[in-house]
Amino acid sequence: MRTLFGLLILAIAPTLMSAQTLDGPWHGRLKAGHMELDLVFRIGQPSTLDSPNQGAKGIPMEIEEQTEKRIKVRVPSVGALFEGELNGDMLVGTFTQMGASFALVLERGELHNDRPQTPQPPLGYKTAAVEFSNAGATLSGTLTLPENPQNTTVVLMITGSGQQNRDEELFDHRPFAVIAHALAQAGIASLRYDDRGFGASTGDFSEATTQTFADDAASGLRYLRQLGYRRIGILGHSEGGTIAFMLADRADFVVALAPMAERGDSTLYNQALVQATISGLPFSMAQSYANDVLSAAQASPQPWMQYFLSFDPAEHIARAGCPALVIFGNSDKQVLAERNAPIVQKGMPHAAIKRYAGMNHLFQHCATGLPNEYGQIKETIATEVLADIIAWIRQL
């Protein structure tokens, strides 16, 4: 008994010791003027910083000082420093960046965002893991199969720009999972997939352009034809919506969510201009900022960026003859509805075009429409948008 008791003490001791360290995740909300950002500090080996509201994860940190009750960490890539001291269950301290200091209180543990629309089991329908290929890439996806399909209609989903998974996950929102769930409940099948070189998909992302992603999506359409689906539609968001126009002659219908319709360089300039203006810069300074953003993009060696800047979707829009539902958020500050909707209307007079008041690029109800709101909003996608998409597909 004496030996066993000793073993138990030895087993428990490391746990007690580790509980006294500051290692592990800590989260808090930084309030800097009118802006609020959630931050997650992961202290350990390695130590990293996440800024979920900005879509940034795994930013390297350097620990300059650490005791059982105090820590000082530097984030060189963003010129930031955090100094905090343990006070009860909180790390109370100061976050300093670019010469400005702000109070920051961290709680131990992961940040859990409330996303009530994310589908939870039991789902009420089946899903299947599938794969299709294009140009040396294997695209891995999820085929959602309604229990009682109304017909042989299926929707291929195409994500927006940047590497994204099949759910188009951003700031803990999973819009494509939410859309697939709503379609399945309406008896409509869907296929969503990880972008090349991301998630479970293989392939080279670094040399890819919008045309590459369009070719990947075309392979998805061929795969669905091989499965026997007779009516195949495309649902694309942002860049994915533009790709939907590029592939419209191969689909039976198109649903384009906030698609870029004007030329890429104009899109980038106007996006930067309106975001800078709303953020409080005088118009002349906002113009200068937008020009700087455009100049930096023009100097980028990235193939995607160079293709994007000179890409004009108008010719593809004019050739898209299939039924189309094209929707915009009037508060979108990434793809401006007032600039892009008229181009679609001119090139596709047969399209059903709808603009939603008070909605952003993700079709969330919002205050400003700026990207820094996305992660702070609980809603993933407005229910009225989901209902309108389903009703439009059903009436075809």
In this structure, what CATH number is given to the domain that contains residue 233?
3.40.50.1820
Residue 394, SS3 per DSSP? helix
Residues 131, 138: contact at Cβ < 8 Å?
yes
Same domain membership, residue 147 and residue 102: no
204 and 341: one domain? Answer: yes
**Would you say residue 15 lies in a domain?**
no
Task: pLDDT tens for the chain, 396 residues: list them.
Answer: 333 333 332 333 333 333 458 999 999 989 876 677 889 999 998 999 988 777 678 899 999 999 999 999 999 998 999 999 999 889 999 999 988 899 999 999 988 888 999 999 999 999 999 999 999 999 999 999 998 776 789 999 999 999 999 999 998 899 999 999 999 999 999 999 999 999 999 999 999 999 999 999 999 999 999 999 999 999 999 999 999 999 999 999 999 999 999 999 999 999 999 999 998 899 999 999 999 999 999 999 999 999 999 999 999 999 999 999 999 999 999 999 999 999 999 999 999 999 999 999 999 999 999 998 998 899 999 999 999 999 999 999
Domain span holding position 99: 20-108
Same-domain check for residues 88 and 133? no
Among the three residues 81, 108, 135, which one is the final residue of a domain in this structure?
Answer: 108
Tell me: do 65 and 145 sit in the same domain.
no
Phi then psi for 58, rounded to 5 degrees?
70, 30
Asked, for residue 246, whether it belongs to a domain, the answer is yes
Question: Dihedral through CA 222, CA 227, CA 231, CA 232, nearest 10?
Answer: -40
Total of domains in the chain:
2
**243 exposure class (CB count in 10 Å sphere: 0-12, 13-18, 19+):** buried
Q: Counting runs of H as helices and runs of E as strands, what totals does the chain give?
A: 10, 17
Looking at the structure, tell me whether residues 102 and 180 fall in a common domain: no
Nearest-angstrom CA–CA distance, 104 and 81: 11
Residue 40 lies in a domain: yes
Q: Are residues 136 and 93 in the same domain?
A: no
Q: Among 60, 77, 108, identify where a domain stops.
A: 108
In angstroms, the CA 150 to CA 289 distance is: 51
Same domain, 165 and 241: yes
The reply to whether 76 and 150 lie within a common domain is no
